[in-house]
Amino acid sequence: MRRALCLSGLLLMLAWAPAHARTVTIGSDLTAEAATFQSAPVDSAYWNTKLASGGRVTSPVRGEVSRVRLKGRINRSTLTRKRPDVVMHFQVLRPVRGGQVEAIVTTGNLKLPFGGGRNRLTTFNLQSMPARICVRRGDHVALSTSGGFGPGYPDGAGFQMFGPVAGSAFRAFTGAGKDMDGDVFRGAERSDQELLLQATIATGRDARPFCR
């Protein structure tokens, strides 16, 4: 009898135990070809607003961006052998009012996927970096660029990380020094195209303190 009671108590404790931490994925399913590119001679940001696959374009939870997968490359110029003078980041954008977003937090400079096959897949482990990229429910995870203009790149570096997908859409914003943390901007819609970026959001114990 005592053993049965102990077993019942253990089962009750397990039933009331907190749910395990989990991760959720937002963004592109990365199946489209990286066949189109965006370029700008100054700072820019790009974020998905609609996905034909039915995938999420914003985070459904509070947590930490733990990993980002990016499909595509930065194109080499036909005018020079030099790399473009550009840096790349990921950025959390929070909808505020009238279709605008606010830049909340930006990663440090990331390694550029320069050249190589156009469908190369690059994975960035953001939890290996000191800065915590926290998100709230409803936040976007964007691709952010700084610079780009220079010899051989008169229109800026070509970020070939976009694919033609009927029914998808992303927004693009360009403005020198206007997409820094705390800035508010809107961006222009690009229909039937998709930013080939997929983010993993860690929650609970899988997220580092401060993002939980």
Name the residue among 207, 167, 210 with its Cα closest to residue 48.
167
Q: What is the pTM of this model?
A: 0.88
- Paired tokens of 205: 């114990």
Angstrom distance (rounded) from CA 107 to CA 134: 11
Query: Domain locations in the chain?
Result: 21-206
Angstrom distance (rounded) from CA 67 to CA 107: 12
Angstrom distance (rounded) from CA 176 to CA 198: 26
- Please report which helix (H) or strand (E) contains residue 47, including its range: strand 44-50
Tens-binned pLDDT, residue by residue, of the chain (212 aa)? 444 444 444 444 433 334 455 999 999 999 999 999 999 988 999 999 999 999 999 999 999 999 999 999 999 988 888 889 899 999 999 999 888 999 999 999 999 999 999 999 999 999 999 999 999 999 999 999 987 778 888 888 999 999 999 999 999 999 987 788 889 999 999 999 999 999 999 999 999 999 99
- Paired tokens of 114: 């320069």
